[in-house]
Structure 1
Amino acid sequence: MYKELNTSVCTLMTPGPVEVEPRVLRAMCTSILGQFDPEFTELMNQTMEMLRTVFQTKNHWAFPIDGTSRAGIEAVLCSIIEPGDRVLIPIYGRFGHLLTEIAERYGADVANIETDWGQVFDPQVVIQEIRKVKPKIVAMVHGETSTGCMQPLKEIGEACRELDILFVVDAVATIGGTAVKVDEWKIDAAIGGTQKCLSVPSGMAPITFNSRVEAVLLQRKKIERGLTDASEPQNQQARLIRSNYFDLSQLMDYWSPVRLNHHTEATSMLYALREGLRIVLEEGLEARFIRHKLHEKALVQGIQAMGLKIYGDPNCKLPVVTSITIPDGIDGESVRRMLLQDFQIEIASSFGPLKGKIWRIGSMGYSCRKKNVLHVLGALEAVLIRHKVKVCAGDAVQAALDIYQKEE
């Protein structure tokens, strides 16, 4: 016989998933409504409205894709990429490689530029490459959780708009934790995530896109319905959107007043997203961003007071992820195991060239609070002492408390 589910209570300080807001968990227990019940479709409308505010956009289209964050990325890219389209993807961490793989799977001719992990691009370097490559689409990661770095986007977005290039941004790690200014930065399509700064379980991917993207979708929809001029090339079949589930042109009908059935909506997840967004707006965007910066500052001061080094260029640090260089001769996975087993705290390692070289601590959403920061600092210090690392015992928590006393 299987026992009743009773999972451990952990302090999640990874770059995702993070601890879910208790009010979100309560919302998920709400009674199920039919997906076309007027009460439910009104919740859909409210979710769209709140997403526009969080994305800082006046776009009409702002809704979630059912699936994890990657589902949102795939929905946007597969819906606007036609075979042979030139796509420029600058890479400064793991998730630039993910954008590249997805774009290539849908037939894109991808051009990459790369910089060292722990750095970001000077926007002028990207703009110079845009003028050289002349792509249809530029796709970039805003907050690269694999390194803890954040890419400035405003100048790049302005250059793309000037050159009539679509600008797609992976804002999975940043939405709800730091500013994502879709309209001001001239972003044509942005993808967010629920399981990070929104403090909602993984399972939906909020997206938004503007009329420039909509025009591409509607043109492809005409091809699908055979409404294009007969003189067009014979390879129209190759220009169809390859996915049914991720076809934004169909999802637009589902999220419009037409309510054309596309899939069965993930009812409880929509409740969760709506409540998560409501909580974000109740706190206020600017207040929320200030809160994330405060706890980041306390965490960084504590880490440095302990004698550890922050990894990466501090000028481009992602406010919601702090990367720490693992001291020489230390088994990073042993430290993580002890944190989890003895303190019920989970932090993350990294990928690729940084595997075994850094730890990553997320301070996102509901996990981003004083109790958690002090807990992880004290526990990490204790575990490092057990691993014979020379640390400044007692200084980490005191340094964080100094920040809180000055700025709270």
Structure 2
Amino acid sequence: MTAIPPLDPPARLLMGPGPISAYPSVLRAMSAPLVGQYDPFMTGAMSDTQELYRQVWATENDATLLVDGTSRAGIEAALVSLVRPGDRVLVPVFGRFGHLLAEIAERALAEVHRIEVEWGQVVPVSLIEEAILRVKPHVLALVQGDTSTTMNQPLDEVGAICERHGVLFYTDATASLGGNPFEADAWGVDAATAGLQKCLGGPSGSAPITLSDRAVEAIRSRKRIEAGIREEGDESASDFVRSNYFDLGMILDYWGPRRLNHHTEATSMLYAARECARVLLAEGRDAVIERHRLSGAAMLAGVEGLGLTVFGDVAHKMHNVVAVEIPDGVPGDAARGALLDDFGIEIGTSFGPLHGRVWRIGTMGYNARKDTVLTTLAALEAVLRRFGASVPAGGGVEAASEVYSGAAG
């Protein structure tokens, strides 16, 4: 039998749409010793993490916690816990991840209604309100930042519209939280979920979530199963949450003062999530968002300085990722492979109608820095030249450097 060598991942600079290179202190936190799930240190770390994420989300919500699993686990927990079979759910779609929200709601047996706009655009708020009046949904499920298109959907007016019409407002902030403005309370968000692997600067595997009192009330109103026994008088399972693991009513009890057992908390991921939030708040939430804005602006200027065409409505682009059209005659996947093999830099392709048409380049978390932006642009220029593209010598690095110099001045 051939011996399997120790794990030794190659050095990579992750400059795609996520996952990204984690903050070193997050990786160190994950190597901390394990403790029992009811050890006072553990329960204290859970409480610390809740308070940290209240500040990250800009909320006073008591129900602010983690769902153990990737960002998609958080999405699923929110939707299956808020949505009963037959409930109407409205999903505005402007990229791949709107379709994901719709699919998860359909699996929860919701009556799903979609409104769609062309990829590369955001959904006008007027269109959302018109659809709410027409559909009369129980939940509006809306992505904030969709990395498939790089668009950042404005949310600041949506919560008031939902409250006016008695609609619960859920948003998926996986790709946007920490690198773009997010104001849970000020915007009237009822439920929001994210992941660590984008602007928060950690590994995939933990999903921060925050829930308003309205959302908690809706979740608590669902029928419950305790230890396999239904509540007395229940004859139908139609109102039970259609998942045990993702039942937020049970997860809230686990994170609440009674600490009722539901699952064994993913200790190392808790450490990671705690450190992601601590790092962000130590630097300053607004300062981190500005760092993402600046590096995103530098990367945008850099790819334009190389003569590349930017995809989509730049006025609504997320700070932390840009999509560029692959130049004619350049084999997209082969060029990405050369960037990875020769420079150790990863950038992304895209999905659906954009597959093979654009590259997506991320500047987020630990990698929202001047050195990573300039290194990526210099390497991209070399690869483009290798594959026959005519690009201005030093054009990308020079344009990005001017953005940074202007900010410093």
User: Structures share a fold, TM > 0.5?
Assistant: yes
Aligned to 2:86: 84
Matched to 1:402, the amino acid is: E
Following the alignment from structure 1 to structure 2, what is the Cα–Cα distance between the partners of residues 345 and 280? 24
Following the alignment from structure 1 to structure 2, what is the Cα–Cα distance between the partners of residues 106 and 394? 52
Asked if 1:31 corresponds to 2:33, the answer is: yes
Please list, as runs of the form range in 1=range in 2, the aligned pairs for 1:165-184 lying within 5 A after superposition. 165-184=167-186
Render the CA deviation track for 1:333-371: whole Å, top value 9, x for unaligned.
111000000110000000000000000001110011111
2:223, 2:239 within 8 Å by CA — same for their partners in 1? no
Aligned to 1:46: 48
Render the CA deviation track for 1:147-183: whole Å, top value 9, x for unaligned.
0101011212110011110000000001111111111
Aligned pairs, number? 404
Q: Aligned residues: percent identity? A: 49
Following the alignment from structure 2 to structure 1, what is the Cα–Cα distance between the partners of residues 20 and 323? 16
Matched to 2:157, the amino acid is: E
SS in 2 for 1:239: coil
Following the alignment from structure 1 to structure 2, what is the Cα–Cα distance between the partners of residues 216 and 297? 41
1:292, 1:363 within 8 Å by CA — same for their partners in 2? yes
Aligned to 1:272: 272
Cα drift, residue 15 of structure 1: 1.1
SS in 2 for 1:59: coil
Following the alignment from structure 1 to structure 2, what is the Cα–Cα distance between the partners of residues 40 and 110? 40
SS in 2 for 1:236: coil
Matched to 1:193, the amino acid is: G
Following the alignment from structure 1 to structure 2, what is the Cα–Cα distance between the partners of residues 406 and 180? 26
Relative to 1, partners in 2 of residues 1:326 and 1:235: Cα closer, same or farther, differing over 3 Å? farther
1:221, 1:249 within 8 Å by CA — same for their partners in 2? no
Following the alignment from structure 2 to structure 1, what is the Cα–Cα distance between the partners of residues 206 and 288? 21
Asked if 1:298 corresponds to 2:298, the answer is: yes
Following the alignment from structure 1 to structure 2, what is the Cα–Cα distance between the partners of residues 177 and 118? 20
Cα drift, residue 222 of structure 1: 5.3
Render the CA deviation track for 1:23-58: whole Å, top value 9, x for unaligned.
011111111111100111010000000111100111
1:88, 1:133 within 8 Å by CA — same for their partners in 2? yes
Render the CA deviation track for 1:278-317: whole Å, top value 9, x for unaligned.
0000010111111111111111111111111111011111
Matched to 1:116, the amino acid is: E
Cα drift, residue 95 of structure 1: 0.2
Following the alignment from structure 2 to structure 1, what is the Cα–Cα distance between the partners of residues 315 and 197? 26
Render the CA deviation track for 1:96-122: whole Å, top value 9, x for unaligned.
010011000010000001000000111
Following the alignment from structure 1 to structure 2, what is the Cα–Cα distance between the partners of residues 223 and 192? 27
Following the alignment from structure 1 to structure 2, what is the Cα–Cα distance between the partners of residues 93 and 69? 17
Following the alignment from structure 2 to structure 1, what is the Cα–Cα distance between the partners of residues 82 and 29? 34
Aligned to 1:160: 162
Relative to 1, partners in 2 of residues 1:235 and 1:350: Cα closer, same or farther, differing over 3 Å? farther
Cα drift, residue 226 of structure 1: 5.4
Aligned to 1:202: 204
Render the CA deviation track for 1:350-402: whole Å, top value 9, x for unaligned.
00000000000011100111111001100000000001111111111111111
1:171, 1:192 within 8 Å by CA — same for their partners in 2? yes
Aligned to 2:376: 376
Following the alignment from structure 1 to structure 2, what is the Cα–Cα distance between the partners of residues 252 and 172? 21
Structure 1: where are the runs of 5+ without partners? none
Following the alignment from structure 1 to structure 2, what is the Cα–Cα distance between the partners of residues 292 and 311? 19
Matched to 1:85, the amino acid is: D
Following the alignment from structure 1 to structure 2, what is the Cα–Cα distance between the partners of residues 109 and 19? 39
SS in 1 for 2:322: strand
Aligned to 1:343: 343
Please list, as runs of the form range in 1=range in 2, the aligned pairs for 1:141-290 lying within 5 A after superposition. 141-221=143-223, 236-290=236-290
Aligned to 1:396: 396
SS in 2 for 1:33: coil
Cα drift, residue 329 of structure 1: 2.5
2:70, 2:195 within 8 Å by CA — same for their partners in 1? yes
SS in 1 for 2:222: helix
Aligned to 1:367: 367
Alignment RMSD (CA, Å): 1.3
Cα drift, residue 184 of structure 1: 1.0
2:349, 2:356 within 8 Å by CA — same for their partners in 1? yes
